[in-house]
Chains A and B, each alone.
Chain A
């Protein structure tokens, strides 16, 4: 479970996150929905323990990443906007490297897990190809594999399907659904409304660094008297919808 309370983060004079609070339950997918620059990525980076908030609390399975970043990170898998791979290493070697860093040190166990992840993401045919020749979709899949190599109880993803074509998007989406069934707490950000609507059990709408509404897609539509999530999103996040700025 990931709990976030009144997070705030400023970069010099720019307030990137003003007031973000939500709880992401185990066995559920929580979607952070917001326009570009709304504060979704900064929120996820703070949850990931690589950016310190100026105020607020984060707990990942009762561990605070601010005080115990390594311990909290051990409970977390993360795929943020930086998806760089090592181009001279193959897909298998990239995954093996991160498996070792995740303390899967027994050779047989590591080998087994790497093969399992390659299979889950449909990467078997290119497992021994250097990553330098990978397409955007293949790089994204390996990066996702890297995030789940240690079977984390919590997973955060920043726009995981950004720039991917329809056939490529299906594999990570089905993986997320499968992980949800196995009890993983998943938080992902997106500005693709259809994706958030399809995948999310709980939607958190962020605008200008603050949470403006949260609930199921249906609850958000009802709250704003909207027929679609898109309409609800516009009403919640724009001056027009919010009744003026």
Chain B
């Protein structure tokens, strides 16, 4: 029932907002990328306008944006399910007539709010930095922002689903922290790989989540983003998100997840 999911989302939002330190920490991480790019562009003292220097800066920007989609909701995801298991509040939730599907949907919506907020903070800061730093960008980027959002917002949804899935499989917040920290290496590593080996993004690879968004980001900054690619990538990412959420709800039906290992 959708009402249950909405009630759970509301509670998770209140709960997360009251836990200020992790939120501030996530916000700092999301602002770290724009800060670094700004300082690097200043240090390059105009060489960012060169083709080589500009490519490096654009690569850095895209990696930081991808990572921010994963950072915003990480702490909330940790607490939302691994935290429930650790403090033994998951069983009471499932015994109160709430279907696992609604538990996952409600918590995912809450995590999504924070992952999207992280992404928004990061993008806003980058727009500010780009307006002041010496990076070779086209004036068309503002106009293509909706297309970019079509690709990036699904990435924030995917990040929230992946984080929640991992959190569900972990018995404690500490365990979830270990694995979710590793998850952040996925966009970071993929992004770095594509910066140094851009030829990988040929053909259907552009429709693979994270790789596709990286390609999209680089082309957004250069001002030649493709609407059809953005739409198909958004769809593929949304489908993958749905599959992860379905798998997470199935996990909540398992005895060892609800009660711990026997």
Contact = CB atoms under 8 A, between A and B. Distances in A.
B262 interface: yes
Contact of A82 (B14, B92, B96, B97): B92
Interface footprint category on B: 20 to 34
Given A82-B88, A84-B88, A89-B15, A70 B262 contact: no
Interface string A202-215: 00000000000000
B98 A101 contact: yes
Interface in A113-171: 143, 146
Given A82-B90, A101-B98, A102-B97, A89 B14 contact: yes
Interface string B52-87: 000000000000000000000000000000001001
Interface string A77-119: 0101111111111000100011011110100000000000000
A98 B93 CA distance: 8
Contacts of A89: 11, 14-15
Given A14-B262, A85-B89, A89-B11, A73 B84 contact: no
Interface footprint category on A: 20 to 34
Contacts of B11: 86, 89, 97
B4 interface: yes
A73 B11 CA distance: 21
B99 A70 contact: yes
A52 B18 CA distance: 37
Interface stretch (A43-51, A176-184, A223-231, A233-241): A43-51
B19 interface: yes
Interface in A1-44: 11-12, 14
A174 interface: no
B7 A101 contact: yes
A86 B15 contact: yes
A95 B4 CA distance: 15
A80 B96 contact: no
A49 B84 CA distance: 19
A105 B95 contact: no
B258 interface: yes
A73 B97 contact: yes
Given A14-B262, A88-B15, A88-B18, A80 B87 contact: no
Contact of B84 (A74, A78, A84, A105): A84
Given A11-B255, A70-B97, A101-B98, A83 B15 contact: no
Contacts of B14: 89, 93
B97 A74 contact: yes
A50 B94 contact: yes
B3 interface: yes
A132 B247 CA distance: 32
Contacts of A81: 88
B91 interface: yes
A152 B157 CA distance: 38
A100 B7 contact: yes
Given A84-B84, A88-B15, A97-B11, A105 B89 contact: no
A14 B95 CA distance: 24
A153 B84 CA distance: 27
Given A50-B95, A86-B15, A88-B19, A11 B262 contact: yes
A146 B92 contact: yes
A100 B91 CA distance: 17
B169 to A, nearest CB: 18
Given A12-B262, A85-B89, A86-B15, A98 B96 contact: yes
Nearest to B99: A70
Contacts of A14: 262
B95 A78 contact: yes
Contacts of A102: 96-97
Nearest to A130: B18
A50 B90 CA distance: 11
A50 B258 contact: yes
A52 B95 CA distance: 13
Given A84-B89, A101-B97, 9 more contacts: A73-B95, A73-B97, A78-B95, A82-B88, A83-B88, A84-B87, A88-B18, A98-B92, A102-B97
22 contacts: A11-B255, A11-B262, A14-B262, A49-B95, A50-B95, A50-B258, A70-B97, A74-B97, A82-B89, A82-B90, A82-B91, A82-B92, A85-B87, A87-B87, A88-B15, A89-B11, A89-B15, A93-B14, A101-B98, A103-B3, A103-B97, A146-B96
Closest 6 CB pairs of A and B: A84-B89, A84-B88, A82-B88, A84-B87, A82-B91, A73-B97
